[in-house]
Structure 1
Amino acid sequence: MKSTLIFIVLLFCSCTNNKFYGHVYDYDTEQPLQNVFIDINGTKIQTDSSGYFYLKVNSNSILKLSLRKDGYSTKNLYRKPDSSGGFSKRNLSNNKIYLFNEKSDFSKK
């Protein structure tokens, strides 16, 4: 009985996944950006018409995000899990990522 309980606890701990999501916007116009290519730890997704993206991720791993869109500077971000080993909903609710247009004064030259 004891070993079964330990197995179940370990199974639930190893299956912890969180939803990582956010919105991508143009820095100058504040408009959402559609069809931004996002690579999160090797998994590739795109933003929808409202600039929204979402992916289930392992909550215990560091995320490396790379955002790319023609006409915009590529942006690389790193995200660590919070102290509980996950990405809390409070932290995820305000995931706004801004891309700089290549013509912007803030883009990398």
Structure 2
Amino acid sequence: MLFVLLLCSCTTNTFSGYVYDYDTEHPIKNVQIDSNGNQTETDSSGYFSIQVKPNKICKIVLRKEGYATKIVNRKPDSLGVFSKKNLRNVRIYLFDKDSDLSH
């Protein structure tokens, strides 16, 4: 039983999604994504995938020159894990830095 609990606390989940420009709805490539020390960036279709620990709140920071920095927070459920829906194929929109919505 202890082994199973240790295994659960050490496993990771993958948070994935797509990043789009809010105004044009076009995908944004080369968005820098950071989550608790793990880093990646979006590909040409705006897609990214990053490892997150299942038993911790994950704070995901998205940065791209010309856009306002966006922070996305995800919390695990009461069992300390994320549902597949909570982590898969999330759509995230970035606002132009000069947009009224970014302030």
Structure with greater Cα Rg: 1
Identity rate, percent = 59
If the length of structure 1 is used for normalisation, what is the TM-score?
Answer: 0.83
CA-based RMSD of the aligned residues comes to 1.6
Please give the per-residue CA displacement for 1:41-97, whole angstroms capped at 9, x wherever unaligned.
122210111111111221001111111101101112221112332121122335111
Alignment-derived partner of residue 24 in structure 2: 29
My pick for the range that moved more, 84-93 or 94-103, is 84-93
Alignment-derived partner of residue 71 in structure 2: 76
C-alpha separation between the residues in 2 aligned to 1:80 and 1:93?
14
C-alpha contact (below 8 Å) 2:16/2:89 kept by paired residues: no
- Structure 1 residues 36, 13: CA separation in 2 closer, same or farther (over 3 Å shift)? same
* Per-residue deviation, 1:7: 4.6
Alignment-derived partner of residue 3 in structure 1: none
Which segments of structure 1 move beyond 6 Å, counting only runs of 4 or more?
none
C-alpha separation between the residues in 2 aligned to 1:93 and 1:38?
16
Gaps of 5+ in 1: 1-5
Instruction: Give the aligned length.
Output: 103
C-alpha separation between the residues in 2 aligned to 1:83 and 1:52?
29
